[in-house]
Structures are given as structure tokens and as C-alpha cells.
Amino acid sequence: MRLILLGPPGAGKGTQAVRLVERLGIPQLSTGDMLRAAVAAGTPVGLQAKAVMESGGLVSDAIVIGIVADRIEEPDAKKGFILDGFPRTVAQAEALDRMLADKGLELDAVLELVVDQDALVGRIIKRADDAKAAGQPVRKDDDPEVFKTRLAAYNRDTAVVAPYYEKTGKLKTIDGMQPIDAVTEAMKRAIGA
């Protein structure tokens, strides 16, 4: 199965992706995770992406599309994948369509987590506090001011991606304000899993 998880930062895409991975046995492909790994490793992509990520902006389409094109060629992605954090622009969505069409593949569903944006800053502060309490590193871009820039980038560039998929009939909207388990159940129902 090939899925996309959509929704603003802090909507719960990462949390839900982990649960769907368990259920479906296909990998989570998080462009945010891949970019953070590239930054940590100091690769050329990481060097280009670092400042943009720290400021809460979007990394260029060309870089992100290149990363995803390589990643979906890996053996573990052959039986399917859950894209988390990609596509974030219509240009990325169009590039993904072309990548899949070239391979004769199709998306199965696009799951959009719909949340109240006013609640998100509070969630992100909690995510940072939880990480701190667990002795884990706190993401630099989970700083409340940077988070606002990320939300603005979402509203400017990414909010239009859901309507793009609505036209294909693949979009399924999920109430992301429910408790975590209820969101997981709603997602599983939406894809018949």
C-alpha cells in the first residue's frame, strides 16, 4: 500500500505513521527525518538544508524530490510506503505523480489530519517538554517562534496539496483532534486496514 499523510506540523503525522508501520508492515518515509539525518551527517544536502530547516522554512523542491526519488528505490519500499511530510508543495505532488507513473504505480490513499491550528503551538510546547523530560534532544525548530514560521509555510505552500488530491478522489480527511487511539482507528478504517 502507498499512502501519504498530510496535515500541519504538530498534527500527529509522525505518531500515527509509526502505528501504521506496525499495522501495515511498510516503512515510514519521513522527509523531515531524512533531512535531519543529512544535516547530522554533514552531507552536501544537509549543508544546504540546515539553515532553512532551523528557520522553519521549506527546503527546495529539487532537494526533497531527489531524496524521495532515491528512497522509494530502496528494497524495503518496494511493497509500499507511508510518506510523512512529503509532498509539501504542489510541485512535489506533481513530481511524485510522475515518479510513480514511470514505475506503473499508484497511490492508494492520502490521509489528511485535520486539526485546530490554535491548538498546535500548545502541542509543540508539550512535545519539547516531553523530549526534555525523557532526556532526548529537543528539535530546534520546535521553538514556539520557529514553529509559527513552519505553520505559516504550511498555510502558504502545503494547504493546497489536499485539494490537489481531492480531485483524484484519493483524499480521506480524518479528525486529528480526537484522542491518539481514535485517530489511529479512524485512519485504519479509512484504508480498510
Contacts with ligand AMP by CB under 6 A lie at 9, 31-32, 35, 52-53, 56-59, 64, 85-86, 88, 92, 141, 150
CB of 191 to ligand AMP, least distance (A): 21
The residue of the chain with the least Cβ separation from ligand AMP equals 32
Q: Scanning the structure block, which residue is given the C-alpha cell 510523512?
A: 84
CB of 92 to ligand AMP, least distance (A): 6
- What single letter denotes the amino acid at residue 130? D
CB of 170 to ligand AMP, least distance (A): 18
Who's near 142: CB < 8 A, 6+ residues apart?
124, 127, 128, 131
> Other CB atoms closer than 10 Å to residue 72's CB: what's the count?
21
C-alpha cell at 10: 504538530
Q: What are phi and psi of 108, to 5 degrees?
A: -90, -45
Cβ-based nearer residue to ligand AMP, 53 or 110: 53
Cβ-based nearer residue to ligand AMP, 28 or 31: 31
Cβ-based nearer residue to ligand AMP, 48 or 185: 48
CB of 192 to ligand AMP, least distance (A): 26
Cβ-based nearer residue to ligand AMP, 4 or 174: 4
- Return d(Cα 55, Cα 141) in angstroms, integer: 7
* Contact present, 20 and 192 (Cβ < 8 Å): no
